Amino acid sequence: MIVGSHPHVIQPVEVKTIKGKQRLTAWSLGNYVSNQRDRYKNGGLMVQAKLIKSSDVELHSAEHVFHYVHVGEDKGVKCYYMLPDFPYNNYRKGFISGEDWTKMNQFFTDSRALFSQHSSGTTEFKIDSTSSIGRKYIGHLTGYYAVVYDETKNTEEANATYLDSMQRILSTSGTILYISQPLSDKEEARKLKEKWEKTDVNKPIKLIYVRPRNIEIIQE
């Protein structure tokens, strides 16, 4: 596989047969986290390839995902969201403004037109609201359960056994919370809390419910 970057705009992806083997070239992934707001530059591309190893390594399939870079604000902090095509405002009203919504849809239209004319060998992966990924998106937009492992006042990483599976969020008081991945089920979150309490008895493990505008501590 050859994966290119730097032009600041997405360019086609091609799967070709070379000397009897499938090869993938992604000419440019465009912009990931970027403040460039011009047309064609306000988004990027993700590519997922599945490889199979038998006697040799073979390219089995490839998918691409277009994502728009939305610049927003969360608790007074400027945030950059990499957004695939999804009906965000259906689940959080006003998450994307009317003007930005128009620009986002224009980016997807432009990207699909480019790929329909110049790309080959990949399929577009879309987020289905009923899939596990779609449910996670909805959770981030509406609310989800999580378990707090640690809370700090700086950006130094917590000394955590499970750090590779955590995410950092900003609390309403300005501290940084190290929490589990989002969980839609309260019972599942409670079981994870009990597991962490047994492993790290000196940590103030807490069960929380994260909403777009506030974080609620769940009292057991």
Q: What percent of the chain has pLDDT over 70?
A: 94
Q: What percent of the chain has pLDDT over 90?
A: 58
Residues 6+ apart with CB under 8 A from 123: 61, 62, 63, 64
Residues 6+ apart with CB under 8 A from 213: none
**201, pLDDT greater than 90:** no
Rounded mean pLDDT of 184-201? Answer: 88
Task: Tell whether the torsion through CA atoms of 75, 79, 84 and 85 is positive or negative.
Answer: positive
Alpha-helical (H) ranges within 66-210 are 88-91, 98-118, 132-142, 186-199
pLDDT tens column, 80-109: 899 999 999 999 998 898 899 999 999 999
The pLDDT of residue 155 = 64
The pLDDT of residue 212 = 80
- Per-residue confidence band for 159, with pLDDT thresholds at 50, 70 and 90: low
Domain ranges for the chain: 2-138, 143-217
Q: What are phi and psi of 210, to 5 degrees?
A: -95, 115
Strands 2-3 and 21-29: parallel
Rounded mean pLDDT of 35-61? Answer: 93
pLDDT greater at residue 100 or residue 154: 100
**160, pLDDT greater than 60:** no
Range 143-217 has CATH code 1.10.287 = no
Residues 6+ apart with CB under 8 A from 218: 145, 186, 206, 207, 208, 209
67-81, 130-144, 158-172, 181-195 — which is least confidently predicted? 158-172
129-133, 172-176, 178-182 — which is least confidently predicted? 172-176
The pLDDT of residue 122 = 95
Q: What are phi and psi of 17, to 5 degrees?
A: -95, 115
Neighbours of 78 (CB within 10 A): 9
Q: Residue 107, SS3?
A: helix
